[in-house]
Amino acid sequence: MSAKKGLNLTLKIWRQKNNKSKGQFEVYKISDVSPDSSFLEMLDMLNEQLVNENLEPIAFDHDCREGICGMCSLYINGRPHGPDTGITTCQLHMRMFKDGETITIEPWRSAAFPVIKDLVVDRSAFDRIMAAGGFISVNTSGNTTDANAILVPKDDADKAMDAAACIGCGACVATCKNGSAMLFVGAKVSQYALLPQGRVEAKRRVLNMVKAMDEEGFGNCSNTGACEVECPKGISLENIARMNREYLSAFVDKG
């Protein structure tokens, strides 16, 4: 059996020195890329090529390279995480591209995610939203109730687990024309609101997380649904509706 033919590609990549400078696209050629390699491996190849030519390698974020950490935030040919669906950039394979193709690679574009360098953006706005309420407080003095002693309806447990699948990648924000973070915050609010352990602080949590989201400069949701389409973890819009219900009830109770 003959070996698969390597791809020859043109890469149009966003280069930006730091968050103060104006960026621009630069064009690179790369040859003989295995269709079985991942997108990040292809960028590794390009960076090796650049280093060998005494040029500065391209900065891009990555960590787990298996769809768990949410770091690999790249906009590829106009879509977050590229042309495949239900995957992160690190799970994208070069077989999704054609020989001779030009691939455009950009960082997430959102006012709340400023570019730090090249393809790396600052997503610490998500961390601050989580710090505002994305946790439960547990008494660890020794009198803690065993979590398994609290019965949870199967349907609620399943929905909480589905919401907890959010990896905080930010694709929902990047693809939204309003730069809204409602899918992310909706998932984080829901994963606790659906469980008895999360009900104790539910009202305070939703008020604080929504306030933090607004302060970080994310836009409003106008129900276009692009976030759900591009989410690599299939987070449902139902989570936004649940967050809105939680918020309304907490707001009314606050008086």
Residues that bind ligand FES (CB under 6 A): 62-65, 67-72, 88-90
Whose structure tokens read 């690599």? 232
Site track for ligand SF4 across 167-186, x = CB under 6 A: xxxxxx----------xx--
Which of ligand SF4, ligand FES, none binds 62 (CB below 5-8 Å, type-dependent)?
Answer: ligand FES
CB of 110 to ligand FES, least distance (A): 18
Task: Tell me how far CA of residue 37 lies from CA of 7, 9, 96, 230, in angstroms.
Answer: 11, 14, 11, 22
Which of ligand FES, ligand SF4, none binds 184 (CB below 5-8 Å, type-dependent)?
Answer: ligand SF4
Pairing outcome for strands 120-121 and 102-107:
unpaired
Site track for ligand SF4 across 182-221, x = CB under 6 A: -xx--x----------------------------------
Q: Name the nearest CA neighbour of 102 among 72, 76, 73.
A: 76
Instruction: Indicate left, alpha or beta for 176 from its phi (over 0: left) and psi (-120 to 50: alpha).
Output: beta
Which of ligand FES, ligand SF4, none binds 133 (CB below 5-8 Å, type-dependent)?
Answer: none
CB of 76 to ligand FES, least distance (A): 13
CB of 225 to ligand SF4, least distance (A): 12
Binding segment (CB under 6 A) for ligand SF4, from list 47-55, 137-145, 194-202, 227-235:
227-235
CB of 189 to ligand FES, least distance (A): 22
Helix (H) or strand (E) holding 245: helix 238-254
Binding segment (CB under 6 A) for ligand SF4, from list 35-43, 137-145, 211-219, 228-236:
228-236
The angle that helices 182-193 and 154-164 make with each other, rounded to 10 degrees, is 150
Q: Hey, CA dihedral for 127, 243, 83, 112, is it positive or negative?
A: negative
Q: Which is nearer to ligand SF4, 105 or 169 (CB)?
A: 169
DSSP 8-state symbol, 237: T
Task: Please provide the DSSP assignment of 30-82 as one string.
Answer: EEEE-TTSBHHHHHHHHHHHHHHTT-PPPP---SSSSSSS----EEETTEET-
Q: List interacting residues with ligand SF4 (CB under 6 A).
A: 70, 166-172, 183-184, 187, 231-233, 235
